[in-house]
Structure 1
């Protein structure tokens, strides 16, 4: 079996128990800009010890260590505020069973030494960890060197997602025509189309569409996602109710200056349909390429 990315040194994060265990009660996402700003400030404050630990570990290239207690994140929604049905039936798999019981995932992008020392853009690699920081999935970009060097972050790619045994589980593909104003990322689970993430022209927000359901999720982008620091992407229902967040953790000045490797926390209600949890994993790739993949 081929060596998995998780076996190589990569930039990672180890969460500490000092993270505040704030209440995880469901609440509505207000359209008021003042409430949105206060929510971002609270999350920023709670993630300060997380970012500090991340900086210490990245210097040693350590993997996140599995822990007995699950990750505790701020502003977490305890249960789905609405019922979303009609999704296609997924082929049974042990990964689905594990994802159905989790309410938080950590996605770590591997550090590429060739990019740092030579400056050649290499295929991106990611490792998905469950809420106990145990490796769950390995993700490898498939693209040609011409598109990586000439198109940069706007390149088309296929992301192969494999389980712990190296078997292909999911596949994400970005196949935009040249000079297209829209952007999208399709996702397949064991050869079955399960959804699509798209961004309309002149919009910074994304729509997440699950196959068989006419109720999309909205991923709202911050006002200036490329300005550095911790960036929070709220996940909302089609009625504007908050159900989760995708948080890009600030990697530190040196890490951000010399690499484009990032760490993401994705949290959602435990009863969110598994198909949407899979789509939220794939949505991290498009967000990373859109805002944080340096040309």
Structure 2
């Protein structure tokens, strides 16, 4: 061990406690869980807290600066109070495109500055994913830069073998924030020519509505789902599925832009955010594979 030349000790620059950059794994940070422990060497661990380890030769993920805690705001949703639009970017899975084996969906949630806001990971077993495909029940876990699960979205299984207009066959998404505390529901409604949803509060009272285009496939163009007030007249925002080319569509790598007013209630922002995923699974995932017979 070389102690170096004699002289006054040089303190690390501001924002770098104990010589480890802020936002990187630190043994004194109980909230950060790296994927593996170091076996030796003098270099700091180049892993961003959360679900995605970053290789040492790549630049670390840039996260949106953490906001201060706010009263009457569910923990973890403080980010949404500062945003009027977010980008939902699904991970491209080339192996899934080749083998047709459905894997858990993963999404990066970013702001306009390309800073990461959240990470969304599907938690569904292999059989359920590949047997039910677009109809599968799922749990989506939303984590922040510290790896904390700040929101959970649950979709129960609904049988579609009955009459297509039967209420028991309509799709539903429950949003919990923090996990275990329901803040609202997204309900699918039957319509002859377009996708229609209602966004409800925790008491299942209709607050907002979502109306999709007549053709939701959007081959060659964007698909716009308008978010309106309960009267169906006032525009509140939109959920736009961007068309990023045929390869992106074949690889199930969807890109959504979500727009809402900056001063909208943060719980309603979270509900519009949740509606985006129910729309994605219902209209832009692969359909169940049928036997040639």
Q: TM-score, normalised by structure 1?
A: 0.68
1:128 to 100, 109, 121: 109
Alpha-carbon offset, residue 65 of structure 1: 7.9
Alpha-carbon offset, residue 141 of structure 1: 0.5
Query: Which blocks of at least 5 consecutive residues in structure 2 are unaligned?
Result: 1-32, 36-49, 65-71, 161-167, 288-293
Distance 1:213 1:144, change over 3 A: closer
Q: TM-score, normalised by structure 2?
A: 0.68
1:35-184 to structure 2, matched below 5 A, reads 89-91=72-74, 93=75, 95-179=76-160, 180-184=168-172
Q: Is contact 1:244-1:268 (8 Å) kept?
A: yes
Q: Partners of 1:173 and 1:133 in 2: how far apart?
A: 27
2:192 is the counterpart of 1:226: no
Q: Is contact 2:109-2:117 (8 Å) kept?
A: yes
1:252 to 242, 245, 248: 245
1:266 to 236, 240, 258: 258
- Indicate the residue corresponding to 1:84 in structure 2: none
Q: Partners of 1:255 and 1:166 in 2: how far apart?
A: 28
Over alpha carbons, which structure has the higher Rg? 2
Secondary structure in 1 matching 2:276: helix
Query: Structure 1, residues 67-90: CA drift from partner, whole Å, max 9, x if none?
Result: 9xxxxxxxxxxxxxxxxxxxxx54
1:237 to 219, 229, 234: 229
Secondary structure in 2 matching 1:222: coil
- Indicate the residue corresponding to 2:24 in structure 1: none
Secondary structure in 2 matching 1:216: strand
Query: Structure 1, residues 219-245: CA drift from partner, whole Å, max 9, x if none?
Result: 101000114221100100012210111
Structure with bigger RCO (C-alpha 8 Å, 6+ apart): 1
Q: Partners of 2:97 and 2:113 in 1: how far apart?
A: 30
Q: Is contact 2:62-2:116 (8 Å) kept?
A: no
Q: Is contact 1:2-1:166 (8 Å) kept?
A: no
